[in-house]
Structure 1
Amino acid sequence: MRTIYICKSLFSLSLKNSSHLNKTPISLLSLLFISSSPETPIAVADYLIDRHKFSPETASKVSSVVKYLKRPEETDSILSFLQESGFSDTHLERIIKRAPQVLSANLECSIKPKFKFFQDLGFSSSDIVKIVSSEPRILTRSVDNQLGPSILTLKSVLGSNMDDVSRVLKKNGWLLRYDLAKTMIPNIELLKSCGISSSHITQCLYIFPRDFMHKTMRISENVKRVDEMGIDRKSKMFLIAIRAISSISKDNWELKLELFKSLGFLEDDILSVFRRQPQLFVLSERKILTQYFLIVLLKHI
């Protein structure tokens, strides 16, 4: 409406001086319409394939989420910045497939601040590449409300050395999608209350971080089940047993019991095996059978 009003005003002004009708009004109106016309959107699939040589598979997947780009030059800047930051073509395809929103982000206000945030914490360029590649959706998260608090929480668990935090995040960048203070910390506190040492918890966190992301009520129930199976809380097997129970559904647990019974084990024998090697119960039926002689040996120890 404002544009129409301006056009009418210019035209009215031109009528007052008809000698300039063929000069000023038309040129001004032409410039006005050109400057106010929206940029022509470009199809994402064509853009990725023709302009950046992305694979048709990636282009197709991304275009199912983001169909058009209004400012392809801005997207060019984002992709160039990522390449200059050490990301390979393979990395770029992975990022765009898992976080298509990056294509429409603002480089200066959204992308660069996240890289500066990691750099200020002491992460190297190669660390940042590995972390972002492991979870590209990090680039769509808020530094102040999500990334910062989660990294500080992780640091409080692992210690002050950022190398340890980097070690975890390079393989498990997905952790930064969560509010760790509300998910991970209550579970760690529960395990500590069971007598499990901080060092043992940290060791498991490096290898099995997903085990600390279950609902606290579920872990509490599994602690109770492991207690009922007679595993000493001071034993290193206690936390491993909780991990095993957490990864097996009740129906699958019953199937495992039936498998052991079919091998000639009584219920007390099965519990004895579980107390010694709880991780055996996480294996598939085929792998359990390949471990048959070890299981028999455990039965008689």
Structure 2
Amino acid sequence: MNFDSLSPHRTATLHCQTLFFRITATYSTICPNQVESPNEEAIEHPRDSIEIFKQWGCCENDLLKIFSRQPSLRNAQATPLLSKLNLLSSLGLTGSDIVKMVNCRPRFFCSRINNCFDERIEFLVNLFGSREMLRTALVRNPSLLTYDFHNTMKPVIALYEEIGISGIDMIAMLISRPTLISRTSFNEEKMEYIKKTGVSKGSKMYKYVVSLIGISRIETIREKVTNLEKFGCSEEEIWSLLGRSPYFDTLG
């Protein structure tokens, strides 16, 4: 606009209006709603394991339990610990669950749980039928997240399915026997022991007989049978009794 063609009064008015708009624009750029939103503060990242566990809902008593079971967690690096807890949180696990997991497996957080994580979780959800049931199993046996997925966990589960234990029976055994995957082994001698019990695949006792023999050492089984024979029991009676009551004398 050409101010020279205007009256002195009109020129002064336009100069004042222009200056006002410039000042208003400057302040609106520098302070966009900052004064109106005092609660928007920068998020502070936890500095150590104590703050991290508290962030996940652990109280002082929980921290005492965690650090008494695994003292090294007190000085754990924040970033790796936070990463693992984020993975656990995605599975619905809470601070209370974490306390139980550390109590069960003190060195759990020393293990890498991100290997094949998505593939492992998909497999386990299909196996347990739901994420909630998987959560229950993980609290009972956190090692389900640390076993060698392709070389240990999948082959052992496939072996039990081949023998005749799957579905609900497999779930029950994995929850009731946390060492099932790590200790299971089968050979011809063990398969012969299963036959000697006389328990059929359709029996409710089958899964208990198979899992008990599966996790027991051959030497231990032989020793137990020999000891029972000393009390006058025949081998046939021993295996028949085992078939009816697998826990009458734990072999493992």
TM-score by length of 1: 0.57
Higher RCO (CA 8 Å, separation ≥ 6 residues): 2
Segment of structure 1 superposing worse, 194-203 or 88-97: 88-97
The match for 1:278 among 224, 235, 246 is 246
| Amino acid in the other structure paired with 2:186 | I
Deviation for aligned residue 1:282: 0.9
Distance in 2 of aligned mates of 1:176 and 1:194: 24
Q: What CA distance in whole angstroms lies between the structure 2 residues aligned with 1:146 and 1:219?
A: 26
Q: Extract unaligned runs of 5+ from structure 2.
A: 1-44
- The structural deviation recorded for 1:114 is 2.3
Q: Is the CA contact 1:229–1:275 (under 8 Å) kept in the aligned structure 2? A: yes
Tell whether 2:25 aligns with 1:80: no
- The residue aligned with 1:154 is 124
CA RMSD across the alignment? 3.2
Work out the number of aligned pairs and report it.
Answer: 207
Q: Distance in 1 between matches of 2:70 and 2:194?
A: 40
Instruction: Point out where structure 1 has 5 or more consecutive residues left out of the alignment.
Output: 1-73, 285-301
Equivalent residues in 2 for 1:218-233, closer than 5 Å: 218-221=185-188, 222-233=190-201
Match of 1:256 among 201, 224, 238: 224
1:188 lines up with 2:144 in the alignment: no
- Normalized per residue, the structure richer in helix is 1
1:206: Cα distance to partner? 1.5
Among 165, 168, 171, the residue aligned to 2:134: 165
Query: What is the percent sequence identity of the aligned residues?
Result: 25
> How far off is 1:226 after superposition?
1.1
How far apart are the structure 2 equivalents of 1:224 and 1:121? 41
Q: Deviations over 1:181-227 (max 9, x none)?
A: 43222122122222334221111112113123335xx2244234312
Q: Secondary structure at the match of 1:278?
A: coil
In 2 relative to 1, CA 125–274 (structure 1 residues): closer, same or farther, beyond 3 Å?
Answer: closer
CA 1:220–1:150 in structure 2 vs 1: closer, same or farther (change >3 Å)?
farther
- Whose radius of gyration is greater, 1 or 2? 2
Matches within 5 A, 1:1-301: 77-96=48-67, 99-107=70-78, 109-145=79-115, 148-159=118-129, 161-215=130-184, 218-221=185-188, 222-282=190-250
Distance 1:262 1:113, change over 3 A: closer
